Amino acid sequence: MKESMEPNDLLYPDVLRIRFVDGNMVWDFLDGRSCSVPLAWYPTLMLATPSERADYHITHYAAHWPDLDYDLGANAIICGHKEAAFFSRRAWEKYNAKLSSGESLAA
């Protein structure tokens, strides 16, 4: 996570950090606000291992999870947009394939 960025002048605030607490994803913003959404709204992140969720990079108002090839913007969090159905299906298919193969789901 990049620690110091110049503030942006865009519509959405810069992200300070992302936390996962009690089944929720909490985005803390540099302007002092926080926004919490159910992790279940984002199956790609919900079904990821804790280490995959913890490895993210922030670029102003968005986050990228390289191990998951997944991007999420503050606009989706603030406006309450859930993950697109295509990506949700892909996450569940990957999860079920791991279950079927006996691969460990914890990291």
**Is 50 inside any structural domain?**
yes
pTM of the model: 0.83
| Structural domain harbouring 71 | 15-101
Output the 3-class SS for 24-66: EEEEEECCCCEEEEEHHHCHHHHCCCHHHHHCCEEECCEEEEC
Task: Summarize pLDDT for 38-76 with one digit per residue, the tens.
Answer: 999 999 999 999 999 999 999 999 999 999 999 999 999
Query: CATH no. for residue 47?
Result: 3.30.2020.40
**Is 9 inside any structural domain?**
no
**Is 87 inside any structural domain?**
yes
**Is 6 inside any structural domain?**
no
Task: Summarize pLDDT for 78-104 with one digit per residue, the tens.
Answer: 999 999 999 999 999 999 998 999 877
